[in-house]
Amino acid sequence: MKKLILSLVVAAFALLAGLANAESLRCNGHSAAEGDSRLSVLFKCGEPLLKDNFCAPVYYAQTRHPVPEPIASIFVPCQQVEEWLYDRGPGNLMATVRFRSGVVQSISYGRSPR
């Protein structure tokens, strides 16, 4: 019985730790998070300080190996990635919101753009 309770407690902590990895961005009393659309982030946080977009390489399914260039340019289009930079004011780190396919993929914090 003790082993069952202990394993349930460990499983609960593992689940909570996995949920804690998701970043969010607080702005104007709202919270933007992974999975939000560009329109939602724009509504919640307003215009970013800077915007950048680029074409990211496409990877083979379930691997970290990029599709080679001759094949990628003919058969596999690149994936558009957009990054928005928010200055959160004095004493706060800058926030970079990365969009893939029109939704927030990640939110990271740092002193300056990478």
**What would the pLDDT profile of 5-61 be if each residue is shown by its tens digit?**
555 455 555 554 444 456 899 988 899 999 999 999 999 999 999 999 998 877 766
Decide: 88 and 95 in contact? Cβ < 8 Å.
Answer: yes
Question: Domain count of the chain?
Answer: 1
- Taking alpha carbons only, the member of 19, 31, 29, 21 closest to residue 95 is 31
Instruction: State the residue range of the domain holding 31.
Output: 2-110
Spell out the residues 6+ positions from residue 23 whose beta carbon is closer than 8 angstroms to its own: 33, 34, 106, 107, 108, 109
Q: Does this model's pTM top 0.75? A: no
